[in-house]
Amino acid sequence: MEKLTVVKVGGKIVEEQESLKQLLSDFSKIEGYKVLVHGGGRSATIIASKLGIESKMLNGRRITDEEMLKVVTMVYGGLVNKQIVAGLQAIGVNALGLTGADMNYMRSEKRPVKDVDYGFVGDVKEVNAGILADLIFKGIVPVLAPLTHDKIGNLLNTNADTIAGEAAKALAQYFEVTLMFCFEKKGVLMSETDDESIIANLTPALFEQYLAEGIISGGMIPKLENSFDALNAGVKEIVITRADMIQMGLGTKITK
Amino acid sequence: MEKLTVVKVGGKIVEEQESLKQLLSDFSKIEGYKVLVHGGGRSATIIASKLGIESKMLNGRRITDEEMLKVVTMVYGGLVNKQIVAGLQAIGVNALGLTGADMNYMRSEKRPVKDVDYGFVGDVKEVNAGILADLIFKGIVPVLAPLTHDKIGNLLNTNADTIAGEAAKALAQYFEVTLMFCFEKKGVLMSETDDESIIANLTPALFEQYLAEGIISGGMIPKLENSFDALNAGVKEIVITRADMIQMGLGTKITK
């Protein structure tokens, strides 16, 4: 199978002109087939605030009421996504911006209300990777916004990490997939206070050991659990790295 | 050649929930291959105003400065486009929302400043209809937002009538194209005061005659001149009609 790299970048990098330009240049240098998944939360919060709409967060997750859904549709699906697409086209990458509604490539269901009503937030139910794979084989580079739809008329806000993971898993039928998560550190660290203490290779066994020893903790745990889930679903390799290192193959590599 | 219908609808229809729903239902009933082109000016003006950005118009055309470009990118490329796409998916139409930057399907150049600086407005230079035709043959229905790009990194605001005309002309290589412009009247009228006085068929010869007689005047003239231009470039037929009549084949038919 041919190789495909799915790169997920957070909001901060794509929302500032200079860092976006650098990221797109680095991304364009990744060899072989590729997909870019982006966030946009900071811009959504700023635009919402200017429109007099309050951003409500709970456990780091956005509560998406009807007004906020309009904002994220504008910001994620329009402003951020299309600026990335235009920026990639300018450097010869044949990008195509997509939400889950486009070609029905990712269908979700509105999250059931239990203790918390997250509003118009979608849990992914179905990925139609065939149509994406067709386009990728033709040289198209999908740029995925963190929005899905329920196929009964509603767009739904969906976490960009989830979009990246679900797309990577579904595309693993067609490609040997590397899933790359970019964050502010160079990788998973042995010591939180030492930015150079990168764990080069991680496996489920090592993860359990580091977890027991307290080396890995906090917000990194769900990220890594998601990574193992993706590996179990057929993704070849996960890389956790910093955005400026995506074309170097550095950072933490996670394999089974 | 197989038939393709390109339908252009103005902002008002797609920006109100009820009329949008009816339009999408009518559009879904058009037989054969199809493309939808939409405006969104009213929403852009409202969102801009809420963001404290003044809408400047000249001769009915929007002046698109840097701030306004962000607004139209959000509103046309995000809010309006994706709501249409999700709405079509809900009724079984496999829609794909696009700006000209997506797959580089429509490249433009920033309009040169002569007497007026229209700002980030694009004049269409190149349409890559092949990739659109491929998708259409696979059952995908493109939904085109009134945005193009210059392939050097800038999105550009482009009139929706122009997008529809240029897409129709380029797709005429692959399909027998009917281009349908929706506006508030049932067609081109013999008498402005009689909404039922629809001219059923119009040709260049008849147009010249009606022009000389003063029957056709005002804003209809550039619309019709654009139509004849499209016919000369290979489009089979133009229909000028009201949005609620698109699946009936009524209105004014324009042929060579």
How does pLDDT run across A219-242, given as a tens digit for each residue?
A: 788 888 888 999 999 999 999 999
In a domain? residue B81? yes
Contact A152 B77 (CB under 8 A): no
pLDDT digits (tens, 9 = 90+) for A38-82: 999 999 999 999 999 999 988 778 899 999 999 999 999 999 999
Determine phi and psi for A241, rounding to 5 degrees: -155, 180
Confidence band, pLDDT 50/70/90 cuts, at residue A250:
confident
Which residues in chain B have Cβ-Cβ distances shorter than 8 Å to A134?
138
ipTM value for the complex: 0.95
In a domain? residue B215? no
Q: Which chain B residue shows the shortest CA-CA distance from A92?
A: B151
Q: What is the residue-averaged pLDDT of chain A?
A: 94
Contact A82 B155 (CB under 8 A): yes
Contact B86 A104 (CB under 8 A): no
How does B150-162 read in b/e, with b if 16+ C-beta sit within 10 Å? bbebbbbbbbbbb
What's residue B14's pLDDT?
83
Which three-class secondary structure state does DSSP give residue A208?
helix
Distances (CA, A) of B196 to A97, B145, B251: 43, 31, 10
In a domain? residue B224? no
In a domain? residue B78? yes
What's residue A217's pLDDT?
83
Average pLDDT over residues A165-193: 94
Contact A153 B77 (CB under 8 A): no
Residue type present at position A212: A
Whether A183 shows a pLDDT value over 90: the answer reads no
Whether A95 shows a pLDDT value over 80: the answer reads yes
In a domain? residue B196? no
B145 close to B85: Cβ distance less than 8 angstroms: no
Q: Specify the range with the lowest mean pLDDT, choosing from A105-119, A172-186, B34-48, B239-253.
A: B239-253
What's residue A156's pLDDT?
98
Which residues in chain B have Cβ-Cβ distances shorter than 8 Å to A73?
78-79, 82-83
With CA atoms as reference, report the closest residue to A241 among A159, A151, A157, A180. Answer: A180
Across chain B, which has 256 residues, the per-10-residue mean pLDDT values are 95 83 95 96 94 88 94 97 98 98 98 93 97 97 98 97 96 97 90 91 93 87 88 96 87 93
CA torsion sign for B131, B9, B211, B217 is negative
What's residue B36's pLDDT?
98
B63 close to B164: Cβ distance less than 8 angstroms: no
Of B47, B90, B102, the CB nearest to A97: B102
Contact A70 B51 (CB under 8 A): no
Mean pLDDT is highest, among A125-139, A188-202, B52-66, B221-235, for A125-139
Residue type present at position B84: I
Which residues in chain A have Cβ-Cβ distances shorter than 8 Å to B103?
94-96, 140
- pTM of the entire predicted model: 0.96
What's residue A29's pLDDT?
95
Domain count, chain B: 1
- The residue with greater pLDDT, A12 or A18, is A18
DSSP secondary structure letters along B104-159: G-EEEEEPPPSSS--BSBEEEEEE-HHHHHHHHHTT-EEEE-SEEE-SSS-EEE--
Of B74, B89, B90, the CB nearest to A79: B74
What's residue B222's pLDDT?
82
Residue A138 C-alpha, separation from nearest chain B C-alpha, in angstroms: 10
What's residue A15's pLDDT?
80
Residue B218 C-alpha, separation from nearest chain A C-alpha, in angstroms: 35
CATH number reported for the structural domain that contains residue B153 in this entry: 3.40.1160.10
Whether A10 shows a pLDDT value over 70: the answer reads yes
- The residue with greater pLDDT, A136 or A18, is A136
In a domain? residue B212? no
Q: Which domain holds residue B141?
A: 3-186
Angle at B26 between CA B23 and CA B29, to 5 degrees: 150
Contact A153 B103 (CB under 8 A): no
CA torsion sign for A106, A110, A112, A115 is positive
In a domain? residue B240? no
Q: Does A46 touch chain B (CB under 8 A)?
A: no
Q: Does B165 touch chain A (CB under 8 A)?
A: no
Contact B77 A75 (CB under 8 A): no
From chain A residues 93-132, the ones with a CB under 8 A of any chain B CB are 94-99, 101-104, 131
Which residues in chain B have Cβ-Cβ distances shorter than 8 Å to A15?
none
Contact A77 B75 (CB under 8 A): no
